[in-house]
Chain A
Amino acid sequence: MAQKIFTVLVGGKAGEGIKKAAQVIAHLAIIHNNHVFQTDDYQSLIKGGHNFSVVSMSPSRMYNTYKQANLVISFDSRSVDEHKGDLLEGGLHFCDEADVRDDTMIPLPLAKLVKTHYPEAGNMSLASIAIFCAVMGISEEFLKDTIAREFKRNQAENTSFALAVYQLVNQLDLQKVYELKQEQSVASKFYTGNQLLALGAWAAGLDCYFSYPMTPASSILHYLALKRDQLGIKTVHAESELAAANMALGACFAGKRAAVGSSGGGFALMQEAFSMAGMVEAPLLCFLSSRPGPATGVSTYTAQEDLFFALNQGHGEFPRIVASPDSFERAFTLAIELMNLAWESQSPAILLTEKHLSESATNLRLDISKVDEYQLAQPDSVNYQRYQFTQSGISPLKFPGSDSATDDDVIKWNTNEHLESGFRTDKATNIKLMKEKRQRKSAAIDSLSRKYRRVEVYGKGSTKVFAYGSTALELREAQKYIDFELVVPVYLEPFPHDELAAYRGKEVIVVEHSLNPNFARFLKEKLEIKVKANILRYDGRHFDAGELVNAIREAIDA
């Protein structure tokens, strides 16, 4: 494990500003040219409990954080107990003097200093930034500027508290284990997965975003709502997921790009609207960010239990697109691709992801070159028929109130089975013809999606490992220590048979975040693979690189 990686873990109670402090630490690492990955482990509560954030940094790309940390900062006794085992050899564990258990911890009078420096409630989480700066040899001035820039309230108290902590740690004369300042410049912007999904959809023309909050998808709504006046976007926090999805369908009818987002529970409520998108042929883009289920499940943790749910979303038969981003870069580009494919094929699309991608963060550059204009099927000027039969099954679009629409145009979208005109029908021959017309779009979607990278392969080796979604990130971090070929189908429907033909019948390891090997079952059906081992995690937590390395070695040796 000769990797040059430094990991910081900050733990304490909810409401203590732990996530924010970790973000500032991540930012400090980025401005010193580090690649950074941040994960936040939190519970569904506002105050108390136990939260911790982890920031891993390195001169090379980071694909995940590590469980074992070089620097642990605990703000309460629970954090000390939870994380004393997470300290790497030679690592430092700072905590309040009252919480010291043994000599692996470095006591600081944190509670006392808070009382001395703040007249009222203080911000203890700033101590983690001060400790990080002292350990990394960042100057006092730099710390002061950082605190002033990032925390607007109680500036004088913040500065004096942070400096007091900084000076105490400096006096310890600790040996430097990681050189923070790196030579190679890195991307300076730090994004969560959800921000990238939002920006990708917006880059592809998103005009209205409709949602009902549900972790871990909520921050898409929060981000776009906040960016209203910069992006020129409309967001609606609807009364329910049912409202959100049906509103989005109305926006599509009016010719505007719309999207919805939720987790599994919210999608269960949107199933009928998803079917409607299939029937009325609406280009509805959906973000489905999974957490452990069933039902309310575990609100703030990660899972991949919704694979078949996404593939089979809605009732009745109709074509759809399902794809899952395997990286933060792809979160941005895939949102663009799916928005475009949805409109080109007038079919609903699901971008399936997980809490681990949605709410983790890394620094990267957006690939703007992927933002392309494209052509929609153009209608004839006379006798417009919404569901006109065509070879591809894709009918020309026209929108009410648009420049091309006249008083003679009657544009009817219909949830009932319908004629080319959009009027309802019950007639056997008509039902058959319209079902076949919609079905033809499956082939059209397959051919349209071929212009995108539907499968990604990372690394080389005789061992072949299959995964999808953010599990691919966890495996790429593990590839720093062990060689294997990681095969990632980005598109799940249409399934990229051609790109994966070489793996047909092969023996592979499948890694996924579910109790049942759903993805393995899916691959068996599609590719007749032989599963050498299923590596499954279903406790809501992401895989650590070390765990994956061990599990893959075990599978190989078995």
Chain B
Amino acid sequence: MRNLISSKENTWCIGCGNFGIFAAVRKCIKTLHEEGTPLADIVMTSGIGCHGKIFDYLDISGIYGLHGRALATAQGVKLANPKLNVITFGGDGDSLGEGLEHTLFAAKRNMDITLILHNNGNYGLTTGQASPLSDFGYKGLSTPFGNVEKPFNAISLLLEAGASFVARGYSAKIDHLAGILHQAIRHKGFSFVEVLQPCVSYNNTYQLYNEHTAFLDALPSDIEHARALAKDHEKQYLGIFHNETRAVYHELIAPAIPAMDVSARKRYLTEYQ
């Protein structure tokens, strides 16, 4: 398999959690390729923010989309060509702020795509403003006196929206994350992976995560159990919270006949009138 790292200069901060996500994604794609998935059938979309830079570093096809809209774009790609494995990279500002509607609706539809949420708890690229996942009291340039909003809980939110695969990884646990990503991409339906990603410049959470993360022993028994574990105050659990099989959108809306070529369309219209 060819190299997946492009020749573009990498400008993430030294120690950025994005490096771990990048490594896990490459590892996962390598596994997919070994299992027989052509690289030509894997495409990515990304939003705008530090996470989005992965578009320049990961040498696979895709769209560097608009801020907040990468998941909408991804859904269009999948509907147009269901054969493609579509992976969206989103930041917490991107996927849960500007583009929250697309995240909830992709889950609601059970679109057969994967959203990898780079959760660094702030807007890194625009110098550390509060994000939808920033803690209450978080101080940034836009909240100099502390964030007065409570953060979303991404796992709980996506469970409620109807995501059929919901998991959490940690950028510093690359092998574990690669394994989750592999299952997420292989999952038929909407898969959501929240990745805890320390931001060394504005929200350095390495110590917090190293001390307060724990692996789930097993798949939670039901959604209620999953939600309780996702919201646990002591531990940030890592692993798969929910995994169900449900009909996927592109199959439910598929026309009874395949797309026609231009001459078939001409024939249809001639007969129609």
| A residues lining the B interface (CB < 8 Å) | 187-189, 199, 202-205, 207-208, 210, 228-236, 238-240, 242-243, 246-256, 258, 272-273, 276, 280, 365-366, 368, 371-373, 399-401, 405-416, 423-424
For window 16-75 of B, CB contacts with A under 8 Å fall at: 38-41, 43, 45, 48, 55-56, 59-66, 69, 72-75
Q: Using Cβ atoms and an 8 Å threshold, which residues of chain A touch B65? A: 246, 249, 276, 415
- A247 to B101, alpha carbons, bound, how many Å? 13
Q: Using Cβ atoms and an 8 Å threshold, which residues of chain A touch B75? A: 243, 247, 250
Nearest residue (CB) in A for B43 is A400
Q: Using Cβ atoms and an 8 Å threshold, which residues of chain B touch A234? A: 79, 253-255
Asked if B269 is at the interface (CB within 8 A of a chain A CB), the reply is yes
Q: Is the CB of B66 within 8 A of A272?
A: yes
Q: Using Cβ atoms and an 8 Å threshold, which residues of chain A touch B257? A: 229-230, 232
Q: Is the CB of B266 within 8 A of A368?
A: yes
Most-contacted residue by chain B among A204, A272, A413 (CB, 10 A): A413
Q: Using Cβ atoms and an 8 Å threshold, which residues of chain B touch A246? A: 65-66, 69, 72-73, 76, 102
Q: Is the CB of A203 within 8 A of B102?
A: no
- A208 to B255, alpha carbons, bound, how many Å? 11
Given A199-B269, A273-B66, residue A250 in contact with residue B61 (CB < 8 A): no
Sample of 16 further A-B pairs with CB below 8 A, known A253-B80, A400-B61: A229-B255, A233-B255, A234-B255, A236-B253, A239-B104, A242-B72, A247-B72, A249-B73, A250-B72, A251-B76, A253-B43, A280-B63, A368-B269, A373-B262, A400-B84, A405-B61
Asked if B245 is at the interface (CB within 8 A of a chain A CB), the reply is no
Q: Is the CB of A239 within 8 A of B102?
A: yes
Q: How far is the CB of A402 from chain B (nearest CB, A)?
A: 8
Q: How far is the CB of B260 from chain A (nearest CB, A)?
A: 6
Q: Is the CB of A228 within 8 A of B66?
A: no
Q: Using Cβ atoms and an 8 Å threshold, which residues of chain B touch A276? A: 65-66
- A181 to B9, alpha carbons, bound, how many Å? 77
Q: Is the CB of A205 within 8 A of B61?
A: no
Q: Is the CB of B56 within 8 A of A424?
A: yes
Q: Can you list 15 contacts pairing A with B, beta carbon distance less than 8 Å?
A: A231-B260, A238-B72, A242-B72, A246-B65, A247-B76, A250-B63, A251-B80, A252-B76, A254-B84, A365-B273, A399-B81, A401-B40, A405-B61, A409-B61, A412-B63
Q: Using Cβ atoms and an 8 Å threshold, which residues of chain A touch B1? A: 407
Q: How far is the CB of B249 from chain A (nearest CB, A)?
A: 9
- A415 to B257, alpha carbons, bound, how many Å? 34
- A293 to B122, alpha carbons, bound, how many Å? 39
Interface range on chain B: under 10, 10 to 19, 20 to 34, or 35 or more? 35 or more
Asked if B208 is at the interface (CB within 8 A of a chain A CB), the reply is no
Q: Is the CB of B101 within 8 A of A366?
A: no
- A243 to B98, alpha carbons, bound, how many Å? 12
Q: Using Cβ atoms and an 8 Å threshold, which residues of chain A touch B76? A: 208, 210, 246-254, 258
Q: Is the CB of B64 within 8 A of A228?
A: no
Q: Is the CB of A410 within 8 A of B59?
A: yes
Most-contacted residue by chain A among B40, B74, B76 (CB, 10 A): B76
- A210 to B104, alpha carbons, bound, how many Å? 18
- A189 to B272, alpha carbons, bound, how many Å? 9
- A146 to B79, alpha carbons, bound, how many Å? 41
Nearest residue (CB) in A for B249 is A236
Q: Using Cβ atoms and an 8 Å threshold, which residues of chain B touch A365? A: 273
Q: Is the CB of B40 within 8 A of A409?
A: yes
Q: Using Cβ atoms and an 8 Å threshold, which residues of chain A touch B81? A: 254-256, 399-401
Q: Using Cβ atoms and an 8 Å threshold, which residues of chain A touch B55? A: 412, 414, 424
Q: Is the CB of A247 within 8 A of B8?
A: no
Q: Is the CB of A412 within 8 A of B64?
A: yes
Q: Is the CB of A401 within 8 A of B41?
A: yes
* Pick from B40, B62, B268: contact of A405, CB under 8 Å: B40
Q: Is the CB of A203 within 8 A of B256?
A: no
Q: Is the CB of B64 within 8 A of A205?
A: no
Given A232-B255, A250-B75, A400-B40, residue A256 in contact with residue B269 (CB < 8 A): no
Q: Using Cβ atoms and an 8 Å threshold, which residues of chain B touch A373? A: 262-263
* Pick from B64, B73, B259, B268: contact of A247, CB under 8 Å: B73
Q: How far is the CB of B85 from chain A (nearest CB, A)?
A: 9
Nearest residue (CB) in A for B75 is A247
Q: Using Cβ atoms and an 8 Å threshold, which residues of chain B touch A189? A: 272-273
Q: Is the CB of B77 within 8 A of A250?
A: yes
Q: Is the CB of B73 within 8 A of A424?
A: no
Q: Is the CB of A416 within 8 A of B269?
A: no
Asked if B233 is at the interface (CB within 8 A of a chain A CB), the reply is no
Q: Using Cβ atoms and an 8 Å threshold, which residues of chain A touch B45? A: 250
Most-contacted residue by chain B among A189, A365, A409, A412 (CB, 10 A): A412
For window 66-115 of B, CB contacts with A under 8 Å fall at: 66, 69, 72-81, 83-84, 101-102, 104-105
- A355 to B75, alpha carbons, bound, how many Å? 30
Q: Is the CB of B269 within 8 A of A366?
A: yes
Q: Is the CB of B84 within 8 A of A203?
A: no
Q: Is the CB of A368 within 8 A of B270?
A: yes
Q: How far is the CB of A67 from chain B (nearest CB, A)?
A: 31
Q: Using Cβ atoms and an 8 Å threshold, which residues of chain B touch A405? A: 40, 61
Q: Produce 1/0 per residue, B235-273, CB < 8 A to A.
A: 000000000000000000111111110110110111011
- A246 to B64, alpha carbons, bound, how many Å? 12
Q: How far is the CB of B158 from chain A (nearest CB, A)?
A: 15
Asked if B127 is at the interface (CB within 8 A of a chain A CB), the reply is no
Nearest residue (CB) in B for A408 is B2
Q: How far is the CB of B123 from chain A (nearest CB, A)?
A: 17
- A240 to B59, alpha carbons, bound, how many Å? 31
- A409 to B62, alpha carbons, bound, how many Å? 11
Q: Is the CB of B64 within 8 A of A415?
A: yes
Q: Using Cβ atoms and an 8 Å threshold, which residues of chain A touch B40? A: 400-401, 405-407, 409
For window 216-240 of B, CB contacts with A under 8 Å fall at: none
Q: Using Cβ atoms and an 8 Å threshold, which residues of chain B touch A205? A: 262, 265
Q: Is the CB of B259 within 8 A of A207?
A: yes
Q: Using Cβ atoms and an 8 Å threshold, which residues of chain B touch A406? A: 40
Asked if B6 is at the interface (CB within 8 A of a chain A CB), the reply is yes
Q: Using Cβ atoms and an 8 Å threshold, which residues of chain A touch B258? A: 232
- A242 to B69, alpha carbons, bound, how many Å? 8
- A414 to B64, alpha carbons, bound, how many Å? 5
- A15 to B39, alpha carbons, bound, how many Å? 55
